[in-house]
Amino acid sequence: MAYKHDYDKALTRLRVILQRLNDGEALGVKELAEEFNVSTRTIQRDFNEKLVSSYPIYQENKKWKMQDGFKIEKIRDIDDKIVLDIIEKITDSIGGNFAIKGKKLLSKIKNEEYAPIYTKLNIEDVSDMISDINLLETAIKNKNIIECSYVYNTDKRYDTTLNPLKIVNYEGFWYLIALNNDEVKKYYLKEIKNIKLTDTTFTVDTKIDNLLENSISIWFDEHTKPFTVKLLALKGASKYFTRRPLPTQIISSINSDDSIEFTIKITHEMEVLPIIKYWIPHLKVIEPKWLDNIVKEDLQEYLREN
């Protein structure tokens, strides 16, 4: 909880500073440090690492100011401004008609003269599926059973009926989470064809929201009891897992060498194996031993073949 508390304080501090700059004030580091009861180094880091890179802010005579002519005019709430900037960049990353329509909508409620936030997200474009997505959204909201065809292995297709629950995005790819014969199944969105709504409705088990909230990737398994994985993130990776914790992550130890030990709960080893392999040698499995053995065997096989 200490991490969340510190984060909330930092967000409040940034919001107040940005609001005052937007109102035309010239702010000094020493005065701000005293006001917020933090070190001058913390305030200087707020400007150098967070604000200057995102907004037209400059320092003159030891005072920080907002560039003349720049104003957050159409939205007075700074939190909303930041959120809208992020939404715009995510929309750009998706591309296609989503980006075009999204920018038109956002331009009605935000200042477009300056774009302080940039994101590079590798999200697949599904703008050619707008009509299908609309059908799925309607089915999900109204709890209508759908009929459709599903393509797998590029050339095989079968017809099925599904109870659609959620459209989700994992690692840039879009999926439909649905019930099939009372089992939670995942379907790659672009392989769903010939969608038809039926008049038959179904009831939803609310556990799906909790299942998705605690999942790390599309590999989650509703039938497996969650088990704990303990990991050691060395200095090269610890900042990443501190800044963007995995779902269910709990830090158990912060070590003097800047490494951290933390635990996560998963239902399938493939939820975490790609992450571990991505961070080799900076991320190591402490427990369970069988998972560590899988990593080492896969690594040995790779070395033998190369």
For residue range 108-139, list pLDDT tens digits in order.
555 555 555 555 667 888 878 888 988 998 99
pLDDT band at 89 (very low <50, low <70, confident <90, very high): low
**71 in a domain, yes or no?**
no
* Structural domain for 141, as ranges: 127-209
**103 in a domain, yes or no?**
no
Over 50: is that where the pLDDT of 5 sits? no
Q: Is the same domain home to 190 and 152?
A: yes
* pTM for this predicted structure: 0.61
Q: Is the same domain home to 292 and 248?
A: yes
**37 in a domain, yes or no?**
yes
Q: What is the reported pLDDT for 3?
A: 36
Q: Is the same domain home to 199 and 248?
A: no
For residue range 267-296, list pLDDT tens digits in order.
999 999 999 999 999 999 999 999 999 999
Least confident interval from 6-20, 147-161, 191-205, 288-302:
6-20
> Residue 201 maps to which CATH number?
2.30.30.520
**181 in a domain, yes or no?**
yes
Q: What is the reported pLDDT for 108?
A: 59
Looking at the 3D structure of the chain, how many domains does it have? 3
> Residue 42 maps to which CATH number?
1.10.10.10
CB-CB contact of 117 with 86 (8 Å) = yes
> Residue 279 maps to which CATH number?
3.30.70
Q: What integer is the mean pLDDT of 201-220? A: 84
For residue range 247-271, list pLDDT tens digits in order.
899 999 999 999 999 999 999 999 9
